[in-house]
Amino acid sequence: MTPLDWFVLAGSLAGIVLYGLWRGRGSDTTQKYLLAGKTMPWYAMALSIMATQASAITFISTTGQSYVDGMRFVQFYFGLPLAMIIIAAYVAPKFHSSGVYTAYEYLERRFDARTRALVSVVFLIQRGLAVGVALSAPALVLTVLMGWPSEWTTLLMGLTVIGYTVSGGIAAVTWTDFVQMLVMTLGLFAALATALWLSPVDLGGALQVAGAAGRLNPAVWTFDLNDRYNVWSGVIGGMFLALAYFGCDQSQVQRYLTGKSIAHAKLSLLFNAVAKIPMQFFILFIGAMVFVFFTFTKPPVLFDPGVQAKAEQAAGYEAVEREFDAAWSARKAAAEALPGTEAQFKAAQQAMDEARGKAAALAGQEGFNDTNYIFLSFVTKYMPAGVVGLIMAAIFAAAMSTISAEINSLATVSVVDVYRRHIKKQADDRHYLWASRWATAFWGAYAVVTARYATNLGSLIEAVNMLGSLFYGGLLGVFALAFFFPKVTGRGAFYGVLCGEAAIFATRFGTEITFLWFNVIGCMVVIATGVLISAAERRARTP
């Protein structure tokens, strides 16, 4: 990075922190600290919701995913607008008008303390595992590509986030999210403009090359339960996932609980319903354009420099590299002769992929995946001074917006659903405000510490993603019972969650069904079990 890049990065981070501290001043009651005194306008909540979802690893790997697999990942978001309508119409008004601090507090009002406790613990486990990874994942990539020590990257991001989140609570989180989202958008536009500018072909030519490579596929209609991304899994599975994430996960629910009114909360959700798909399309399109760039500029055999270095040490690497170079030259020649050479292009692409597989095997990395390194490799090696700093700032902003929302929501559930409910029930507001600040600091420190371990255990990222998908179906099911099944009892809800979770685990470990369907299956089992147990309970009570 050049001095200009450092200036842009440091300036952006300092600006975000100072703005957060300024916006968070006056958070001197629990309600102000955890719900911003319910004063947030819709546009601040809207961008905060969007920024919370867009983590750094999403930012880094989505572009890489498009590079290797095309734009079909965008279908993952097709169900989101439908979920947002359901949440805006039914969920947000109930949460808002009931005056709760957390989504799980609502469950005690509707069912019982046991169900609230169970779901709160599920949330704390799931989010607690995820927060360290959210912090470690970008640190890991930046360490490999930039040579920055992961301890320092983790500590820098962690302490920055803890600083403004502990000080200003959710007001600081929401307003910094707002600015962070603007920085991310700026970074994305800069990335696309530079990718197009560096390409030797115009936009029409770029679309032709990316299309020939099968990268321009944002709609795939083939129905396959084992295929992650198609229109069907996106609309149905994506809707259930979005319902669970935006409707039951405190890290998102808390965003729209801060609204000035129910109407503001609804508007913030509907803004995301409209803006999220184009934003993801845009990010994926950048990945496709990076692919076009590397069609005319020779890419490294492997994008992960660590694995590449290992492969280079192995016997037989030179032959693999020659094979890769020949395949790349053939692909370039086919691209220059398009249209009419699509078959040659695809054959050369396949040969390149095979050479990459062989190189990874030489490094002892069977099943190797370097998706996360593609975009940053392009940024650091080819982007002009200043733009690199801006994109680094965008990646830091994406990481910080997710982590701040997560530690803020973890602290809220810890204090409201555990500490105030079960440990110290009668204390004044100052005490709970003090507890909230300490809980925020605790979860921030916990994130920094667990990120250190997550950095050392790369496979943990996969494990946590998998764990997350195991819990959302149960959460969604119990909230569906709460909102839409008035006759369901606390016992029905409690055992419904347990049965739903059992069904999800059985699906995960006993079938090949892809994770997007876990939420559908889990939710359905919770509802069916909850309704049946409640009906049996009512019948047993009837004399």
Partner 1 sequence: MMDEHERPPVFGSWRRLYTAVVIYLAAVIVLFTVFTKVFNR
Q: List residues near partner 1 by CB under 8 A.
A: 70, 74, 78, 81-82, 84-85, 88-89, 93, 96-97, 207-208, 210-212, 214-221, 231, 235, 260-264, 266-267, 270, 273-274, 277-278, 281, 342
| Contact in structure between 271 and 42 (CB atoms under 8 Å) | yes
Q: How far is CA 407 from CA 19, 60, 92, 421, 512, in A?
A: 19, 22, 22, 19, 34
Residue 353: which region, alpha, beta or left (left: phi > 0; alpha: psi -120 to 50)? Answer: alpha
**Shortest Å, Cβ 71 to partner 1:** 8
**Shortest Å, Cβ 247 to partner 1:** 16
The Cβ-side half-sphere exposure at 269, using a 13 Å CA radius, reads 33
Which spans in 36-112 are helix H? 42-53, 56-69, 80-86, 92-98, 103-110
**Strand, helix or coil for residue 298:** coil
Residue 538 CB partners (closer than 8 Å, separation 6+): 487, 489
- Count CB-CB contacts under 10 A for residue 322: 11
**Shortest Å, Cβ 296 to partner 1:** 18
**Cβ-based nearer residue to partner 1, 86 or 533:** 86
Which spans in 337-428 are helix H? 342-362, 371-382, 387-412
Q: What is the DSSP letter of 77?
A: G
**Cβ-based nearer residue to partner 1, 216 or 301:** 216
**Cβ-based nearer residue to partner 1, 96 or 420:** 96
**Cβ-based nearer residue to partner 1, 15 or 93:** 93
**Cβ-based nearer residue to partner 1, 240 or 443:** 240
**Cβ-based nearer residue to partner 1, 330 or 387:** 330
Q: What is the DSSP letter of 220?
A: -
d(CA 7, CA 4) in angstroms, rounded, equals 5
**Cβ-based nearer residue to partner 1, 78 or 106:** 78
**Shortest Å, Cβ 340 to partner 1:** 11
Listed residue (405, 120, 419, 85) closest to 258, CA to CA: 405
**Shortest Å, Cβ 463 to partner 1:** 32
| Contact in structure between 24 and 171 (CB atoms under 8 Å) | yes
**Cβ-based nearer residue to partner 1, 75 or 450:** 75
**Shortest Å, Cβ 281 to partner 1:** 8
**Shortest Å, Cβ 62 to partner 1:** 16
**Shortest Å, Cβ 221 to partner 1:** 7
**Shortest Å, Cβ 44 to partner 1:** 14
**Cβ-based nearer residue to partner 1, 96 or 310:** 96
The Cβ-side half-sphere exposure at 462, using a 13 Å CA radius, reads 5
